[in-house]
């Protein structure tokens, strides 16, 4: 019965090789899988050493995946308008099945991701992994740190409670002092910047934190910033491979 | 490289295994060749000197440049349009202009808290007339309080203090409070506009609108 099933076109199109533990099948398992084949064929011994890498880059990526999934789930109950946002957050926390779990996963993963990205950066600095030929990837990493912080900041407004509104009020007040583009920054007034046409106005969609701000931050948080971050992550991982995998101790120095 | 003999033992260094183009690069060291290789066309990896490239004006390049310019102008125009799109024309915000009663309603020397809750300004009546101070601390934006017994504005957040004039004298505030526009409507009522501000440190407190002289 099972043997005849194994001979069907459907089975053969899904499972493309036998399961015997041979070198060939092991290689096929990796090569025939779109996700596994993205991994390098071989890595250096130190690249698997947690004491060397701390695993922080990988953990950051894992947290990003968790945040994407839990974030999409939260979007089913959250409406980004001033009328409903706070109520929906309360609803999620009190009456939605597994709502508190999903929201807290999102919240804690977000806090953790800021931490792991910084620790990842710290490790890269300590091991000198920003040095040639990896300078470009360091710059990509700095952009990713910035995007992580922006994602964290924009998500902070979405509960729409007093804490988030005032935190974002204080945070976006910094934009007033942007050189040239802020109405209180150097050369801003000379260029005709007012509270209702400067960079902060663009950010808030108004002259103060209000309903347009909530919508802007929501779209930025759920669509714009994650997509940009994903693009930079692709470049980041691709550069790791192109620059010879995870950096290690200087082989030439050791030999001398 | 198949025609090449094994490396000459008299040579100091063995050559690298990467094949070099035999025509383009001059060979400093004599290479022993058993038979002449078939003449190969040199690969062009560098433009000829002084080559104008796409800027050589023939029909094909003119069309290419035109195409690129059209594409670029499309991108630039779309970017500007998208950016303008993000600046709303209509704001659904409370109006910044409001009427604040008649001049006779105010007592000389008093700081009026009446419009602080709704519009975040004080209206102060001194001997000569009126001015309105915006109740936003210049340190980090909290709302200060008017303390009549101490005759000063005091910020509860970090202790910045301001005189009745709005000039800062204690705490971390870096500059005086801002004044809002104050004037009279046609029917003689006081009008305040919080979107028009006057800053002392920029010498704006003498400007028209920063002070309303009492005319009875």
Q: Which of A169, A197, A207 sits opposite B93 (nearest CB)?
A: A207
Specify the pLDDT at position B34: 64
Indicate yes or no: CB of B141 within 8 angstroms of CB of A169.
yes
Domain boundaries, chain A: 50-244
Residue A156 above 90 pLDDT? yes
Q: Are B173 and B160 in contact (CB under 8 A)?
A: yes
Indicate yes or no: CB of B86 within 8 angstroms of CB of A202.
yes
Residue A179 above 90 pLDDT? yes
Residue A111 or B92, more confident: A111
Other CB atoms within 10 Å distance of the CB of residue B179: 26
Q: Are strands B179-184 and B168-170 parallel, antiparallel or unpaired?
A: unpaired
Q: Are B174 and B138 in contact (CB under 8 A)?
A: yes
Residue A227 above 60 pLDDT? yes
Specify the pLDDT at position A114: 97
Per-residue pLDDT band for B44 (boundaries 50, 70, 90) equals low
Residue B47 above 90 pLDDT? no
Specify the pLDDT at position B7: 46
Residues 6+ apart with CB under 8 A from A207: A195, A196, A201, B91, B93, B195
Per-residue pLDDT band for A142 (boundaries 50, 70, 90) equals very high
Indicate yes or no: CB of B141 within 8 angstroms of CB of A170.
yes
Average pLDDT value for residue range B38-63? 76
Residue B107 above 80 pLDDT? yes
Q: Are B159 and B147 in contact (CB under 8 A)?
A: no
Specify the pLDDT at position B8: 47
Residue A53 above 80 pLDDT? yes
DSSP result, B53-98: GGGS-SHHHHHHHHHHHHHHHHHHHHHHHHHHHTS-SS--S--SEE
Per-residue pLDDT band for B75 (boundaries 50, 70, 90) equals very high
Indicate yes or no: CB of A206 within 8 angstroms of CB of B141.
no
DSSP result, A101-117: HHHHHHHHHHHHHHHHH
Specify the pLDDT at position B3: 46
Other CB atoms within 10 Å distance of the CB of residue A171: 15
Give tens-digit pLDDT for B114-164: 999 989 999 999 998 999 999 999 998 889 999 999 999 999 999 999 999
| ipTM reported for the complex, 2 dp | 0.76
3-state SS class at A243: coil
Per-residue pLDDT band for A256 (boundaries 50, 70, 90) equals very low
CATH architecture of structural domain A50-244: Up-down Bundle (1.20)
Give tens-digit pLDDT for A28-37: 888 888 888 8
E strand intervals along chain B = 97-99, 111-112, 121-125, 129-134, 145-147, 152-154, 161-162, 168-170, 179-184, 190-198, 212-213
Question: Chain B contacts of A173, Cβ < 8 Å?
Answer: 141
Average pLDDT value for residue range B71-95? 93
Mean pLDDT for chain A overall: 90
Question: Chain A contacts of B93, Cβ < 8 Å?
Answer: 206-208, 210
């Amino acid at each position: 019965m099972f043997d005849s099933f194994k001979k069907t076109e459907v089975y053969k199109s899904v499972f493309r090789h036998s399961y015997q533990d041979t070198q060939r099948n092991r290689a096929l398992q990796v090569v025939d899988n779109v996700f596994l084949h993205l991994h390098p064929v071989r890595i250096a011994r130190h690249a698997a050493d947690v004491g060397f890498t701390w695993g922080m880059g990988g953990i950051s990526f894992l947290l990003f995946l968790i945040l994407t999934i839990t974030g999409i789930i939260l979007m089913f109950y959250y409406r980004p308008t001033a009328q409903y946002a706070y109520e929906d957050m309360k609803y999620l926390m009190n009456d939605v099945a597994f709502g508190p779990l999903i929201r807290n996963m999102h919240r804690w993963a977000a806090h953790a991701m800021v931490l792991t990205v910084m620790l990842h950066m710290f490790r890269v600095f300590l091991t000198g992994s920003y040095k040639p030929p990896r300078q470009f990837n360091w710059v990509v990493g700095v952009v990713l740190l910035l995007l992580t912080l922006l994602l964290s900041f924009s998500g902070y407004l979405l509960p729409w409670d007093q804490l988030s509104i005032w935190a974002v009020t204080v945070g976006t007040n910094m934009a007033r002092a942007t050189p040239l583009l802020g109405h209180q920054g150097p050369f801003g007034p000379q260029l005709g910047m007012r509270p209702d046409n400067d960079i902060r106005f663009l950010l808030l969609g108004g002259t103060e934190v209000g309903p347009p701000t909530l919508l802007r931050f929501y779209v930025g948080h759920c669509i714009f910033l994650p997509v940009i971050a994903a693009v930079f992550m692709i470049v980041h991982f691709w550069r790791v491979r192109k620059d010879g995998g995870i950096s290690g101790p200087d082989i030439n120095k050791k030999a001398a | 490289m198949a025609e090449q003999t094994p490396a000459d033992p008299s040579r100091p260094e063995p050559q690298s295994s990467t094949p070099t183009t035999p025509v383009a690069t001059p060979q400093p060291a004599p290479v022993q060749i058993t038979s002449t290789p078939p003449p190969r066309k040199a690969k062009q990896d560098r433009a000829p000197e002084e080559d104008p490239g796409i800027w050589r004006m023939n029909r094909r390049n003119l069309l290419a440049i035109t195409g690129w310019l059209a594409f670029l102008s499309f991108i630039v125009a779309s970017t500007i349009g998208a950016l303008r799109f993000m600046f709303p024309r209509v704001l659904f915000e409370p109006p910044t202009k409001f009427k604040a009663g008649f001049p006779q309603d105010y007592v000389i020397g008093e700081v009026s808290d009446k419009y602080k809750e709704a519009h975040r300004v004080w209206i102060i009546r001194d001997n000569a007339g009126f001015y309105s101070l915006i109740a936003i601390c210049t340190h980090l934006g909290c709302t200060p309080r008017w303390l009549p017994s101490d005759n000063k504005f005091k910020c509860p957040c970090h202790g910045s203090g301001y005189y009745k004039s709005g000039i800062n004298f204690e705490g971390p505030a870096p500059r005086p409070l801002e004044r809002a526009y104050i004037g009279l409507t046609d029917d003689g009522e006081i009008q305040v506009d919080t979107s028009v501000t006057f800053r002392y440190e920029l010498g704006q407190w003498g400007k028209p609108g920063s002070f309303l002289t009492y005319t009875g």
